[in-house]
Structure 1
Amino acid sequence: MRVPPFLMERWQSTFEHRVDYNLSESGVHPLTLSELLELIDLDPGGVRLEYGQSDGSDPLKAVIADLYEGAVHGNIIVTTGGAEANYVVLWSLVSAGDRVVALEPTYGQTPGLARGLGADVVSWQLREGLGWQPAPGSAAEIITPGTRLVIVTNPNNPTGAVLTASAMDEVVDAAEAVGAWILADEVYIGAEVEVRETPSFWGRYDRVIVTGSLSKAYALPGLRLGWIAAPVHMHEEFWSRKDYTTITPATLSDVAARRVLSADVRPRVLERTRGIIRANLSRVTGWLDDRADLFSYRAPDAGAICYVRYGLDINSTELAERLRAEKGVLLVPGDHFGMDRYLRLGFGNPAAELDEALDRVAALLEEACAAVA
């Protein structure tokens, strides 16, 4: 298997720890270990660092299943991060020559891996003018007979948009009509600007598979803990693939996740996340509105990300590289989503860091504008 370069991931991995301000992330400022242990009331000294249950402990699978109506622990596979969850699903379902429809722009891992597996990946575009929704009626036009898989990220990365109820219905109806699987990456559920949680694709059709993780809404990317929710009959298939990847989740992460996702702790974690998003979104939108001659945007429904169109005559990768090299600020260029003249701006940082980073971005933009004046 020859996979295409995962441009965004390599960009972030190369530079995120080598800049002054990292605005390339889509989650909020992560919890410290001390904050986590206090929140979940755990003394880690008693946790034995043995091999855990390789598909996730039964207590953890049970608490994850509680997130999905009608699910039981047999629907759940615990993985090392959401990335492994997506990998295992695609590796299991997609073969060379399969037709895969990807709702884009989206996180590059899933369509990139599908291409690496030899699939014919068809792009189904979200429309900026429709609030980053697919065009009404387009699902049935693009999810045609012979489609093996439909890839959806909801809430969306990079736009932060949440699909409307009618758009979700169209996706499900079109997939069901041709027997296609749906892979719904739902890692941003819980990171909504408003309190109402994004509805899941789970349970809408018997070929829906959902992936999630602790990385975004739960501010715990360092635990590397994700999961798959899938029909029970797919459990063995996914588990057998996982035997060849990471084998088992980290034991300490499994124990911590049981408590983070519990009914008493989960709301407190999400309240922190949403509080950061709401406070910082107002800072970012105010900053953008002060520069309305340069930027246009739709405020996100979820996630600490704002997908911004800019008016400068400069390629997005070139602009992002200048921001990194000259100002020590890392953003994601729209090129990484196949869309030049856009930037994905992450705003989950501490407020003072965010303000300083935005000041540096503004300084470079002023220099760029002066150069062409």
Structure 2
Amino acid sequence: MVQIEKFSVEAWMDQYETKCEYNIAETCCASLSIDQLRELSEDKTRDVFQTSKPLSYGAIRGSDALRGNLSRLYSARSSSPLSPENIISTPGAIQANYLCAYALIGLGDHVICHYPTYQSLYEVPKQLGAEVDLWKATPENNWIPSIGDLKSLIKPNTKLLVINNPHNPTGAVLKRTFLQQVIDVAAEHGIIILADEVYRPIFHSINPMDQDFPPSLLSMGYQKTIVTGSLSKAYSLAGIRVGWIASRDRDLIERIAEARHYTTISVSQLDEQVAAYALDINTVHGLLKRNIQLAKTNLELLERFVIKNDDVCEWVKPLAGTTAFVRFHRDGKALDSVDFCKKLLEKTGVLFVPGSECFGEEFVGYVRIGFVNHTEVVKQGLDKATQFVRRNLDDVKLAE
């Protein structure tokens, strides 16, 4: 029987997110309705759904409209256009990442995974029988891992390197120069790179004109690259459950497509129609403008919270994405983050995610804050959290 570890962050959200008043643990940009999505489009006469279309399985690998729009986005600013045939749709990014591991990894393989990160990125390869080493980032280096450490982790059987950029939970960004170093190391050993880019392109604190601004890894010339993404985080549409896998290596795409037949068959036609509408040239720019501005506005609120409470918390300010990793302490000693989060929720209705429970035991005192929900929710939630810190912090256990 496959040994499945508790998926801690999803178990935490499952238990508490419907019981909170202020959800600032959520990692999606504030969710949209179909009506709101239509309002963001420059072509408001166009239907989101083609209701006359028969609801068959549809195009097995993904609709032409969806894959065409993704192809256009990945081909922008690239000297080498990406064919729609090199893209496969999936039910969310979590299935995309699962399929990549399922198709490519097995007993006897070695996987290196960027850490801390979303648990499935390293647990699924373990479940499939691979040996997994964690490529650890630290706050002392602004949550950027070391290339030297990466080189030291490589083994003769290293088959896959997994990175997450922009990064959950810290909001750190692996920039262009660093990504090129990663590629150089992987290329030397023939290692496949899987880049989870689900928080791309929510870059709120780094200028796209910066010479070191990170492109999608798919645009950096390394053939053995796979990227995954979805409509959930950056595009505010988690409810449609649409993600994707893209690679310039057709052999990798075909192997993943074969594995996909065993798990998915196809993605809901209704969901794909909404996804294609959101990524259409008439809609996507307004949608991303809305979400990047929301991230910028709310990050200012979070920064004020950290400054106001800098005697008991600290952070590395995020550059992108929707999350921040904040460390709470009392008299210099880390708090028990689970006890902190539970008491905060009980007293105020504010939901955070405890780092030590959901991202690794070593992250004592850390909580993940998802700050790109609706601004009023974030503002009120952070105000409540400040009240809790001032009145109730002495009641929270210290980490052992």
What TM-score range do you get, normalising by the shorter chain? over 0.9
- 3-state SS of 2:325 partner: strand
- 3-state SS of 1:3 partner: coil
TM-score by length of 2: 0.88
Q: In structure 1, how many angstroms separate the alpha carbons of the residues matched to 2:131 and 2:351?
A: 32
Corresponding residue to 1:209 among 206, 210, 226: 226
Letter in 2 for 1:54: I
Instruction: Answer yes or no: is the 8 Å Cα contact 1:160–1:306 preserved in 2.
Output: yes
Corresponding residue to 1:337 among 343, 359, 371: 359
The alpha-carbon distance between structure 1 residues 328 and 54, as it changes in their structure 2 partners (threshold 3 A), is same
Corresponding residue to 1:199 among 188, 197, 215: 215
**Are 2:64 and 1:58 aligned?**
yes
- Deviations along 1:88-115, whole A, 9 cap, x unmatched? 1010111023211011111111101111
Structure 1's unaligned 5+ residue stretches are: none
**Are 2:27 and 1:16 aligned?**
no
The alpha-carbon distance between structure 1 residues 3 and 242, as it changes in their structure 2 partners (threshold 3 A), is same
Corresponding residue to 1:272 among 282, 286, 290: 290
Q: In structure 2, how many angstroms separate the alpha carbons of the residues matched to 1:323 and 1:340?
A: 16
Higher mean alpha-carbon deviation, 103-112 vs 362-371, is at 362-371
**Are 2:45 and 1:46 aligned?**
no
Letter in 2 for 1:127: T
Per the alignment, residue 168 of structure 1 pairs with 179
**Are 2:371 and 1:347 aligned?**
yes
Per the alignment, residue 184 of structure 1 pairs with 195
Q: In structure 1, how many angstroms separate the alpha carbons of the residues matched to 2:108 and 2:36?
A: 48
Higher mean alpha-carbon deviation, 310-319 vs 22-31, is at 310-319
Q: In structure 1, how many angstroms separate the alpha carbons of the residues matched to 2:70 and 2:141?
A: 33
Instruction: Answer yes or no: is the 8 Å Cα contact 2:176–2:214 preserved in 1.
Output: no
The alpha-carbon distance between structure 1 residues 154 and 107, as it changes in their structure 2 partners (threshold 3 A), is same
Q: In structure 2, how many angstroms separate the alpha carbons of the residues matched to 1:142 and 1:136?
A: 10
Instruction: Answer yes or no: is the 8 Å Cα contact 2:48–2:274 preserved in 1.
Output: no
Instruction: Answer yes or no: is the 8 Å Cα contact 1:146–1:178 preserved in 2.
Output: no
Q: In structure 2, how many angstroms separate the alpha carbons of the residues matched to 1:86 and 1:371?
A: 40
Map of 1:310-329 to 2, 5 A cutoff? 310-312=328-330, 313-329=334-350
TM-score by length of 1: 0.94
Aligned residues: 373
- 3-state SS of 2:89 partner: strand
Q: In structure 2, how many angstroms separate the alpha carbons of the residues matched to 1:314 and 1:198?
A: 35
Letter in 2 for 1:201: L
Instruction: Answer yes or no: is the 8 Å Cα contact 2:65–2:276 preserved in 1.
Output: yes
Per the alignment, residue 288 of structure 1 pairs with 306
Higher mean alpha-carbon deviation, 117-126 vs 310-319, is at 310-319
Letter in 1 for 2:57: Y
The alpha-carbon distance between structure 1 residues 281 and 47, as it changes in their structure 2 partners (threshold 3 A), is farther
- 3-state SS of 2:152 partner: helix
Letter in 1 for 2:179: M
Q: In structure 2, how many angstroms separate the alpha carbons of the residues matched to 1:223 and 1:321?
A: 30
The percent identity for this pair of structures is 33
Shift of 1:366: 2.3
Per the alignment, residue 82 of structure 2 pairs with 71
Higher mean alpha-carbon deviation, 93-102 vs 141-150, is at 141-150
Corresponding residue to 1:298 among 302, 308, 316: 316
